[in-house]
Amino acid sequence: MAYLKFNKDELVNLEYSLDREVLATNRAGGYLSSTIVGCNTRKYHGLLIVPIEEFNGDNHVLLSGLDETVIQHDKEFNLGIHKYPGTYSPKGHKYIVDFEYEPVFTLKYRVGGVLLKKELILVHNEDQVLLRYTLLEAKSDTLLRLKPYLAYRNVNSLSKANMMANTRYEVISNGIRSKLYNGFPYLNMQLSKANDFVASPDWYYNIEYSEEKNRGYDYQEDLFVPGYFEVPIKKGESIIFSASTVPSTTPSRLKTKFQKLVDERGPRNSFENCLKYSASQFVVRKKGRGTEIIAGYPWFGSWGRDTFIALPGVTLYASDDTVSCKEVVDTMLRNLHGGLFPNVGYGAGAAYNSVDAPMWFFKTLQEYGKKYANDAELWKTFGKKIKIILEAYRKGINQYVGMRENGLIWADEPGKALTWMDAIVDGKPVTPRAGYQVEINALWYNAVCYSLHLAEIAGDNKFVKDWKALPLLISESFVKTFWNEEENYLADYVDDTGQNLFVRPNQVVACSLEYSMLTDDMKQGVLEVVAKELLTPRGLRTLSPKNLLYQGLYYGDQPTRDKAYHQGTVWPWLTGHYIEANFRLYGASFVQKAEELVADFEEDIALYGVCSISEVYDGNPPYRPNGCISQAWSVGEILRSIALIKEYKAIAENGKKKKVTK
């Protein structure tokens, strides 16, 4: 039995099945996504969604959906499902008998004596989706009808019927090609078997996306159907449908291609393997841009901060992939400007407003160094860029960000949110943290200390001489500035008015890093208050429920969501730093608790983004998942946590063996 499987009772219950979404990516920026019953509930859903360079490389929905109809004895059974105002039509979900995630998305439909299996796969590094239909059972002659729904629009917009659309099509081998608007690629729709295409051009109006409605956005669109394909299918026969931006010159070979792709897919037969599969989907290689990490599906692109936080987990700890890790780092370094990495965007459109992304770069190098195991070579490779970043902060990035005389980093740009708690509503940061931020300065200390370590091993005496006095100054200033003796934990930030003592998770970073200026007693104080007020089974809350500003639910339109985003909402990625901090303090004795924290996420693997971990959860029980269905740093940090658990379990086992030997 498949690890991820849904039965008929679950699938026909739309309150259940429409909450569960699937995702597949082509590793080049494109993807497919929908719910487990194939009913699109977001504008980001579709069977073929690809980046188009002519439109700034933004993702565009070409093929929104494909309705299947089984025909026997002139009776038609439509297996599709769409939401229209007040109703679903057709209601093909009632024919689904099960859904499995492995080896590819697989649905089975039963219509009378017919049992039809549908499998979906997205081709890696190509803009092509393949669907394989296999007739498992049939007592009479069977005809299969396939009706494509075209959108041809940006993922952030909606399609509307219009006179500008090119509704004509061209015949190609075993199919047709369509292009609704200039500038777009053709969509080549072909079958592996000769078929009849019946032209029946029409718009389908007011298809609704419930998740967009819930999130306060426009939620109705019109989709264009050029006609439909009809093909006879025999019991035991498989037929492939292909939709691609490049036509297949030999459609008859699509069967072989599909099976080869299935054979190459990695297993998704356990929680850890699901996360490894999910991790692989964030690593994308784009022509002319290099290798990037997509922050989250379906609506995020490449973000600097997210990249460095997620990168170790989704490459090094998912598959020992040091090559991809370095490729991503090299791509980011090519975009380094004035000591900063782009927070979002690319090239001339990049925004350099993330004060912490360069700090997380050093954490990534530390993790990479553990695998690479040659610190002298590491300094030779990255030393010049390291010096540029550190010197930029020491001299001052700009008038708002830079090192003060006490060795600490001050960041305060009016109207901007420079840390990861970056939500802005009505032009104002929701979580204003101007001044000295606790995680920024913990990361700064770690960066300077680690750089000195590399330089010493590589024999860069000049760098060591220039920087060796700074760690002590930072350490003393950090403790003096952030530690609150009375409360026994760290301030979240400190400005000209003094310490902000809101209980937030950022102080955990000061305990989790390799180089920390805190004593064990201080770490214990921090971890105790975090465990008491922030820890949940799905990660750490961003604000204590005791705080009057606490928001325990993440829902509603964007301003409402943004007000809760870092005011109580739970973030899974923080679990990794909480676990690492406890291991550094308590060693292998924390293994059991760490295993329990990671195991809690396994319960959610089939709840929201199937086979992955979501962006956020509610701060209040039952900790409902929300945000992106698959988030890079959520997946990455849980994978890194699993690796830490294995490491400390091995330490514990070795300790037992030594005792027995003695």
Give yes or no for residue 443 having a pLDDT over 90: yes
Which amino acid makes up residue 22? Answer: V
Q: How much is the pLDDT for 345? A: 74
Using 50, 70 and 90 to split pLDDT, how confident is the model at 596?
very high
CA distance linking residue 184 with residue 187, whole number of Å: 9
**Long-range contacts at 316-323 (CB < 8 A, ≥ 24 apart):** 316/367, 316/368, 316/370, 316/371, 317/636, 317/639, 317/640, 317/642, 317/643, 318/275, 318/276, 318/279, 318/280, 318/636, 318/639, 319/276, 319/279, 319/280, 320/371, 321/283, 322/368, 322/371, 322/372
Residue at token pair 């403790």:
479
The token pair that represents 467 in the structure block: 């920087």
User: pLDDT, tens digit, for every residue of 540-591?
Assistant: 999 999 999 999 999 999 999 999 999 999 999 999 999 999 999 999 999 9
Nearest residue to 147 via CA among 202, 216, 208, 184? 202
Helix (H) or strand (E) holding 292: strand 290-293
Query: Model confidence at 654, in pLDDT bands (50, 70, 90)?
Result: confident
Amino acid at site 572 = P
Q: Is the pLDDT of residue 603 over 90?
A: no
Per-residue model confidence (pLDDT) at position 280: 96
Third-level CATH fold of 271-661: Glycosyltransferase (1.50.10)
220-278 pLDDT per residue, tens: 999 999 999 999 999 999 999 999 999 999 999 999 999 999 999 888 999 999 999 99
Q: What pLDDT is stored for residue 659 in this prediction?
A: 56
DSSP state of 38: S
Cα 530 from Cα 509, distance rounded (Å): 12
Q: Which residues make Cβ contacts (< 8 Å) with residue 430, sequence separation at least 6?
A: 417, 421, 423, 424, 562, 563, 565, 566, 567
Q: Is the pLDDT of residue 490 over 60?
A: yes
pLDDT of residue 348: 67
pLDDT in tens, 355-397: 999 999 999 999 999 988 899 999 999 999 999 999 999 999 9
pLDDT tens by residue, 491-525: 999 999 999 999 999 999 999 999 999 999 999 99
pLDDT attached to residue 532: 98
**pLDDT tens figures, 32-89:** 999 999 999 999 999 999 999 999 889 999 999 999 999 999 999 999 999 999 999 9
Specify whether the CB–CB gap between 133 and 115 falls below 8 A.
no
User: What's the whole-model pTM score?
Assistant: 0.95
Confidence grade of residue 653 (pLDDT, cut at 50, 70, 90): confident
Give the integer Cα–Cα distance in Å for 66 and 471: 60
307 phi, psi to nearest 5 deg = -60, -50
* C-alpha dist (Å) from residue 625 to 138, 570, 636: 41, 9, 17
CB contact at 8 A, 585 and 511: yes
Provide the percentage of residues in the chain whose pLDDT is more than 70.
98
CA distances from 454 to 382, 388, 467, 616 (A): 10, 15, 12, 36
Nearest residue to 59 via CA among 293, 310, 297: 297
What are the residue ranges spanned by the domains of the chain?
5-256, 271-661
pLDDT of residue 2: 80
Q: Which of 391, 485, 390, 498 is nearest to 435 (CA)?
A: 498
pLDDT at 660: 52
Residue 26 has what pLDDT? 96
Which tokens hold the place of 641? 């946590």
In whole angstroms, how far apart are CA 133 and each of 64, 107, 127, 139, 250?
18, 10, 20, 17, 19
Which numeric CATH code is attached to 5-256? 2.70.98
pLDDT at 500: 98
- What letter represents residue 403's amino acid? M
Q: How confident is the model at residue 289 (pLDDT cuts 50, 70, 90)?
A: confident
pLDDT tens, position by position, 94-152: 999 999 998 899 999 999 899 999 999 999 999 999 999 999 999 999 999 999 999 99
Query: Do you find a cis peptide bond into 298, omega within 30 degrees of 0?
Result: yes
What's the whole-number average pLDDT of the chain?
95
Mean predicted confidence (pLDDT) in 272-297: 94
Cα Rg for the chain, rounded, in angstroms?
A: 27
What are the φ/ψ torsions at residue 562 (nearest 5 degrees)? -65, -30
Backbone angles phi, psi at 66, to 5 degrees: -145, 115
